[in-house]
Amino acid sequence: MIRLDNISKQNSHQLLFVEASAAVLRGEKVGLVGPNGSGKSTLFRLITGRDTPDEGQVLIDRGITIGYFDQDVGEMSGHSAVAEVMNGAGPVSEVAAELHALEHAMADPDRADDMDEIIAAYGEVQHRFEELDGYALEGRAREVLAGLSFSQEMMDGDVGKLSGGWKMRVALARILLMRPDAMLLDEPSNHLDLESLIWLEHFLRGYEGALLMTSHDRAFMNRIVNRIIEIDGGQLTSYSGDYEFYEAQRALAEKQAQARFERQQAMLAKELAFIERFKARASHAAQVQSRVKKLEKVDRVEPPRRRQTVAFDFPPAPRCGEDVATLAKIDKRYGAKVIYDGLDFQIRRRERWCVMGVNGAGKSTLLKLIARATDPDEGEVKIGASVKMGYFAQHAMDLLDGEATIFEWLEAKFPQAGQGALRALSGAFGFSGDDVEKRCRVLSGGEKARLVMAAMLFDPPNFLVLDEPTNHLDLATKEMLIKALGDYEGAMLFVSHDRHFLAELSNRVLELTPQGVHAYGGGYREYVERTGHEAPGVG
């Protein structure tokens, strides 16, 4: 269906692909993986024809429709979300536009003389529209938007008034409604809450076309893909199975490659030692010469390439008292909407609470109340003795000095820290080499979030309040963060849509539902076992 045949591609001074080949077959669901900057987005652009290879060719079967979702959603305004989604639904949306134009023509008194032709054309177009199941299009568009957590009001409102994250969902819905022969999805799990993520998972599992996708959410990828294509060192390597299988196979291949390299090095050392020992003896001249010739013919095994792994030893958090935060009889409303009515909740030292709940249930509000970023209408929020809180939320990124470089901002924040420690910190959060010279004002939202998180953990508080801390983190950085927080001895309260993060770090669950607030001892895994669902309201 899609074939990459010996492609080579260079961007600026970086070689992305060197005579690389791969294929995506009908009905396959393929995960595309590789370090940041390895060429995943470039590969999508090559397949869609937005870019061309320097050498080799990209072959697409005749008549194949391709839907491509990326993070650049373009301008959206002046239409409702439903209309915007329907406009991108491929051939059926074009026929719908023709039908709409002919309806206007039939209502135009100035076109009365052409009415017979207009009615005949309308009949033909209407027949095509019915064949394409066009009359069900709006219903299907609303179903997809509802799956992505849109309310009816948001579906009918102007897309231009939505935030960037919601516009991303509209762009994604457009591709899903189109149901092309092949879907290319670049980070579709970004900006989605857990409920939308689970809905998208079900949708993609039921999708019958070919799928090629990237995602920083390993649980999401594991549930969907049946093959992995890895970009590494300019090559494309295919692994059958899901992401976990790929990780195991890659580790095994690296181990085998290392063993082959070490065996050959031992053999070479032995032969060289013999040559060195006996080269001056005439009695061994023939043997020495034979071994020299043998070594010249040996096909040298290259040492396995070491993947750069991000790691950082974060200092321990200072100890605090047993009672970290207490909420007593909290009431909170936004207008007529009641968020909390008499909420009692306590967090103790070493407890790691993840907060679950559908959109609008009050997850972020709870974090804001505890972080004193908003006040309750009634009730009291008490923070315990010696508690040093770190609050991570989107507005935290506004505190960056736009004119300072990444390194200057970290130096100003931690004047006592050595350059080596700050460079190691930067590298752990994905800012290596010259990246630390970027000015904060040019950073993407994800880069800003990573920088704020890095600073928070360098001088760790003993109580972390984190609202979607894993957004924009790649798999390697996310693993580093999970490992760092796994060793963290303070208390945590967090919201996340990443199930791997939830499962690894939580030891308590607070579920917010319309029927009330429910607390569960045990972490996210136990919550799923006990309730039979992965998120409130999702079967």
Phi-psi region of 345 (alpha: psi -120 to 50; beta: other; left: phi over 0): beta
- Determine the Cα–Cα distance for residues 36 and 423; give it in Å rounded to an integer: 18
Q: How many Cβ atoms sit within 10 Å of the Cβ of residue 132?
A: 18
Per-residue pLDDT at 239 exceeds 70: yes
Tokens of 511: 């579920």
Confidence band for 308, pLDDT divided at 50, 70 and 90: low
Per-residue pLDDT at 487 exceeds 80: yes
Q: What percent of the chain has pLDDT over 90?
A: 45
Residue with tokens 């001088």: 459
Q: What number is the average pLDDT over the span 410-417? A: 92
Give the 3-state secondary structure of residue 57.
Answer: strand
Per-residue pLDDT at 77 exceeds 80: no
- How much is the pLDDT for 220? 93
- Determine the Cα–Cα distance for residues 183 and 177; give it in Å rounded to an integer: 11
Give the 3-state secondary structure of residue 387.
Answer: coil
Element (H, E) at 24: strand 14-24
Per-residue pLDDT at 492 exceeds 90: yes
Per-residue pLDDT at 202 exceeds 70: yes
Per-residue pLDDT at 335 exceeds 70: yes
Per-residue pLDDT at 183 exceeds 70: yes
Q: Which residues make beta-bridge pairs with 33?
A: 230
Q: What number is the average pLDDT over the span 463-485? A: 85
Q: What number is the average pLDDT over the span 134-140? A: 84
In the chain, DSSP finds a helix count (H) and a strand count (E) of: 18, 18
Q: What number is the average pLDDT over the span 430-452? A: 84
Q: Which of 203, 209, 168, 206 lies closest to 188 in space, CA to CA? A: 168
For 247-273, the three-class secondary structure string (H helix, E strand, C coil) is HHHHHHHHHHHHHHHHHHHHHHHHHHH
Q: What number is the average pLDDT over the span 370-398? A: 89
Q: Phi then psi for 64, rounded to 5 degrees?
A: -80, 130
What is the per-residue pLDDT across 78-119, written as a single tens digit (0 to 9) for each?
Answer: 778 888 888 877 677 778 778 878 888 888 888 888 888 888
Q: What mean pLDDT, rounded, does the chain reach?
A: 88
Provide the edge-to-edge strand list for the sheet that holds 235-240.
66-69, 182-186, 210-214, 29-33, 227-232, 235-240
Contact 524, 503 (CB under 8 A): yes
- How much is the pLDDT for 23? 95
Confidence band for 539, pLDDT divided at 50, 70 and 90: low
Q: At what angle do helices 137-147 and 194-206 cross, to 10 degrees?
A: 130
Per-residue pLDDT at 57 exceeds 90: yes
Per-residue pLDDT at 163 exceeds 70: yes
If one compares 218 and 473, the residue with the highest pLDDT of the two is 218
Contact 465, 371 (CB under 8 A): yes
- How much is the pLDDT for 498? 92
Per-residue pLDDT at 309 exceeds 60: no
What is the per-residue pLDDT across 279-292, written as a single tens digit (0 to 9) for each?
Answer: 888 888 888 888 88
- How much is the pLDDT for 208? 94
**Which residues, other chains included, contact 380 with Cβ-Cβ below 8 Å and sequence gap of 6+?**
326, 327, 328, 329, 330
Tokens of 435: 């990246």
Least confident piece of the model among 164-173, 240-249, 288-297, 444-453? 444-453
Q: What number is the average pLDDT over the span 248-276? A: 88
- Determine the Cα–Cα distance for residues 132 and 128; give it in Å rounded to an integer: 6
Confidence band for 354, pLDDT divided at 50, 70 and 90: very high
If one compares 190 and 77, the residue with the highest pLDDT of the two is 190
Tokens of 124: 């033909």
